Chains A and B, each alone.
Chain A
Amino acid sequence: MTALSTHVLAPAAGGLLRSLAAAGAPIKAPSIDYKGLSPLLIVFAVALVGVGVEAFAPPRLRRPLQIPLAMGGFIAALVAVVLLHSRRQIIAVGAVALDGPALFLEGSILILAMGALLLLAERSTDSTGGALVASPAALPGSPEAGALLLSRETTTEAYPLMVFSVGGMMLFAASNTLLVMFVALEILSLPLYLMAGLARRRRLVSQEAAMKYFLLGAFASAFFVYGLALLYGFAGSVQLSAIHDAVAQTGKNDTYLFLGMALLTVGLLFKIGAVPFHAWTPDVYQGSPTPVTAFMASGTKVAAFGALLRVFYVAFGTSRWDWRPFMWVIAILTMVVGAVLAITQSDVKRMLAYSSIAHAGFILVGVTAANNDGLAGSLFYLLTYGLTIIGAFAVVGLVRDGAGEANHLARWAGLGKRAPFIAGSFAFFLFAMAGIPLTSGFIGKFAIFSAAISGHALGLVVVAVVTSAVTAFFYARVVVLMFFTEPAADGPTVALPSGYTAGALGLGLASTLVLGVLPGSVLDLAHNAAQFVR
């Protein structure tokens, strides 16, 4: 029993452990590698300090304190990740992995979070003071809510919420037991459910998004936990390596394994927005405040794919012949449905949502390759796609009219005439997502497709290639709208960005171009990182 409890519960329930120890023989306290955990610890500490700021600092000081605090935390955590770059081991009593993929993904999440934070901090584009509403509980349509629309007040709780979520994302990608993974899933999700409902304008849509995301997310979490329980029944442990060993043994009852694997996968596929678990994506992307959408589209995707990769490569690596056909089907469905439905969209955020579904499908192609090249390609793709999509959402946040963001695509007609630089940037991001050479999107696609072909998945790559052509159609259609169409008389204006949005946009542009022309160093990082520890 004690052996089991250290195995299963130690990371989550230290108190229980101590009470058990008091009852029986003395148990040595587990040694925790605090240095190895330092990126996570820094982020969570900053989040807690952020909560303290909300509680004690006067309102006018909160924003000036929260932004540098969060940014400083991300930078410090990134430095910690860099300092740990050569470590390859399991730490914290088997709970957290410190290996190449974990460090690469943690670094990616931190960089993407910095970009998203810059967008969140922007308040000069909207004359009323930012994308977030001051009091989200006000009833939409009530006089109170109307006053809020015009007030200069804003929410600063979003910053610690975001930092918590970033911590959850990092832990999600690094957790080595399913239990910690579940805890991380909740830490990353709960703040996002709240943040989805914070949009200053279109309050009802925003609240609907939050509600939908919460309900479906809770449902997915339930699937995850049920799968976890069945896998525990199968392997007698929630450690990924123990599950791996149990899979390798013959004579076990496979029913639990496959049922558990399926249910667990449902939970993970929900988070990455894979078909048929994608239905929430367009509504939530559309309703959330644009900076939050950018954060979800980049960070959540990286974290969820990190967890998916770890589960499938570490725990289920030896049974890949069982799950690969299943993942093939999911990948094909995700690419095709995402690309085809994106064609019919008339809202830019919904279009980007469906396009992100199609891109999840592309990354799944790399996952199904089930080799180191596939892993390295997926890591590279996740980082570059995240940076590109942050840039794209930065542009979405800038194109505005009297009612806030002008998200209807028809309103973007002739934008190239009004704001050639902004429209040109958006076109560049779209071409990157379409995989045109000299952008990071092309290198990412190339890395993933070549891994899949060397993993004998030629058919999958042909589908992916045809889907890429379909995605190019709706990306190019936006370019046609912006550049080849007559501007509408009362078209939207492009807000002059402050340094925040300009920084995020610059980050997106520079990374998309540089990683498309000289991707060598980051490819090296991804290749060196592409080995899980068990």
Chain B
Amino acid sequence: MTFAAPGGFPWLTVLGAIPLLGALLLALIPAGRDEFVKRLALAVSLVVLGFAVAMSLAYDTHKAGFQFVENHSWIRQFGVHYALGADGIALVLIDLVAVLTPVVVLASWRDADPSADGVTGVLRNRFGLGSVRAFFALLLSLETMLVGVFGATDIFLFYVFFEAMLIPMYFLIGSFGGPQRSYASMKFLLYSLFGGLLMLAAVIGLYVASAHELGHGTFALAQLTKLHLSHQVQDALFLGFFIAFAIKAPLWPFHTWLPDAGAESPIGAAVLLVGVLDKVGTFGFIRYCIPLFPAASKTFAPYVIALAVVGVIYGALVAMAQRDLKRLVSYTSVAHFGFIAMGVFAFTSQGGTGAVLYMVNHGLSTGALFLVVGFLVARSGSRNIDDHGGLAKPAPLLGGAFLLAGLSSLALPGLSTFVSEFLVLVGTFTRYGAAAIVATTGIVLAALYVLIAYQRTMQGPLKAGLEAVKDLSAREVFVIAPVLTLIVVLGFYPKPLLDVITPSVQATYQLAHRGDPAPVAASPPPLAAGAQK
């Protein structure tokens, strides 16, 4: 891995510090100034977004490797560094965080209002830390940790953010979630902690291995990727990292916490949870598993692909059977994470690039779906599909938004998700043809679950009791419009993202000493070539 020289403006530190300072500021505001709290939170998240845009413009797409590098000694005794840096993969995911946070803040505007209690089941502001300022402070501190987790280039630092970000999410689900929030938050925390602790053992194992080889233990990614680990060690450490990321992503069969957490989270937290936080898992595959343990990644790749394909089909089938809209969206994500894992472990630059692009697009499209479902639930007071029907008539904007979000989830050509899904399937096909073919049926199933849900909620006769449903308010339009716009724009013009992502993905796979397979037609078998002579 190549790193630019440290120094220059500390972009990533400042980007992470702004929301943290905002969160502290919010926590200090006396109770009862809720309107001010919301505005401040929105302002802070918009400043972060502006800053992230500026940082993206400063990113040099012609240089491979890590930019915005910072490196300071943190815990000298363990060789831990406060080391940050962003390559193309990290940059686009940080941008995703920066885009979704203001959307989430705005979307939670009414949810966080104590008077808006009752039917929504979204935020019932009665318990514990359950105050408006706590909600937004937790959201902003989560943003800080997400920036840190994507920007860390020291595995110890990564682990710190990886584990610490559980806590704000735990409180967001537990304090502000639906009726089963205790159970869901507990399940989320324990699954993640279990995976994280296995990873801790692997992180320490890697540290000790580096101490054996280099004479001094290190956590720096740049040095760790150069280690010569034996195959057994690689396999053991790979599994430690992989299980943690597979739980986080979540990959089948480690997914069972996601439907609960997704369904019980308040909408804003659900968007961040499924849209961004879970991406840490797939990000970990490509950032840590493959460069650190190239041999083990090759050994395990067929198995991972198999799990991923099962996840694609299983997630889609189970999603179809859901009556609860939020659980439905959660299960569709299990299918989408299968696609992403497949692309990462196909070891082709198309597959990898597609997978990273898929991470961004999935964040946008699932975010949009969750937001629309949130609007829907806020109107009807129910998460059950059967309680809805014919809503497109009184609320055409809502119906349109649902349709567009749904279509992006099933990867309709012309929307951004199509590009990534296509790339992943093509990239997988060149190496694992059968897996790609089976996964393609997942697209058909996706059409089924999306359209059935749309049909039952939006079309048909208007359900009794929903006559008075209002269409999207101006605030809600402001919430959903930017996300949908991005989905459409990136569907037609994904080049800026691809330009950023592709070199970094190629550099990652080069570390694993595995290039693209040659196209079938262009490589006549050597034997035949010899025979012609």
Are B167 and A420 touching (Cβ within 8 A)? no
Instruction: Find out whether the CB atom of A449 lies under 8 angstroms from the CB atom of B201.
Output: yes
CA distance A519 to B166 in the complex (A): 22
Contacts of B190 in A (CB 8 A): 469, 472-473, 476
A472 to B189, CA, bound (A): 9
Chain B residues within 8 Å of chain A by Cβ, number: 38
Set of chain B residues within 8 Å of A436, measured between Cβ atoms: 163-164, 166-167
Q: Mark A494-534, 1 if CB is under 8 A from B, else 0.
A: 00000000000000000000000001100110010000000
The reply to whether the CB of A291 lies closer than 8 angstroms to some CB of chain B is no
Please name all residues of chain B whose beta carbon is closer than 8 Å to the beta carbon of A473 when the two chains form the complex.
186, 190
Whether A483 lies near B208 (C-beta < 8 A) is no
**CB-defined contacts of B204 to chain A, threshold 8 Å:** 446, 449-450, 453, 461
Knowing A453-B204, A462-B201, A524-B77, the reply to whether A482 touches B128 (Cβ < 8 A) is yes
Chain A hits for B76, CB < 8 A: 520
Q: Which of A437, A445, A449, A476 contacts B189 (CB 8 A)?
A: A476
The answer on a CB contact under 8 Å between B200 and A469 is no
Q: How many residues of A contact B (CB 8 A)?
A: 45
Which chain A residues lie closer than 8 Å to B77 at the CB level? Answer: 519-520, 523-524, 527
Residue of B nearest to A454 (CB): B208
Partner of A437, one of B126, B159, B171, B217: B159
Residues on B with C-beta less than 8 A from A417 are 126-128, 130
Say whether A484 contacts B174, CB under 8 Å. Answer: yes
Which residues of A are found within 8 Å of B159, using beta-carbon distances?
A: 437
- Within 93-138 of B, Cβ neighbours of A (below 8 Å) are at 126-130
Question: Whole-angstrom distance between the alpha carbons of A484 and B171 in the complex?
Answer: 8
Render B210-227 as a binary contact track against A, CB cut-off 8 A, 1 for contact: 010000010000000000
A471: shortest Cβ distance to chain B, in Å?
10
Alpha-carbon distance A423/B129, docked complex (angstroms): 10
- Distance in angstroms from B431 CB to nearest chain A CB is 33
Instruction: Tell me the nearest residue of chain A to B200, going by C-beta.
Output: A465
Is A434 close to B, CB under 8 A? yes
Residues of chain B lying within 8 A (CB to CB) of residue A485: 127, 182
Contact A466 B197 (CB under 8 A): yes
Residues on the A chain within 8 Å of B75, using CB? 443, 519-520, 523
CB of A468 closer than 8 Å to a CB of B? yes
Interfacial residues of chain B within 171-187, with CB under 8 A of chain A in the complex: 171, 174-175, 181-182, 185-186
Q: Can you name the residue of chain B whose Cβ is closest to the Cβ of A380? A: B77
A469 touches B127 (CB 8 A): no
What CA separation (Å) do A454 and B130 show in the bound complex? 44
Cβ of B36 < 8 Å from any Cβ of A?
no
Min Cβ gap B144→A in Å is 12
Note all chain A residues with C-beta closer than 8 A to B126. Answer: 417, 486
Min CB distance, A112 to chain B, in Å?
Answer: 22
CB distance from B372 to the nearest CB of A (A): 27
* Contact A469/B201 with A437-B164, A484-B185, A527-B77 known, Cβ cut-off 8 Å: no
A-B contact pairs, 8 of them (CB 8 A): A420-B129, A436-B163, A436-B164, A473-B190, A476-B186, A480-B174, A484-B174, A524-B77
Question: Assuming A465-B197, A480-B182, what are 9 further A-B pairs, CB within 8 angstroms?
Answer: A416-B127, A417-B126, A417-B128, A437-B163, A442-B160, A453-B201, A476-B170, A484-B128, A527-B77
Going nearest first, the 9 A-B pairs with the smallest beta carbon separation are: A416-B128, A483-B128, A437-B160, A484-B174, A523-B77, A469-B194, A465-B197, A484-B182, A450-B204
Q: Point out residues on A near B: beta carbons under 8 Å.
A: 414, 416-417, 420, 423-424, 431, 434-438, 442-443, 445-447, 449-450, 453-454, 458, 461-462, 465-466, 468-469, 472-473, 476-477, 479-480, 482-487, 519-520, 523-524, 527
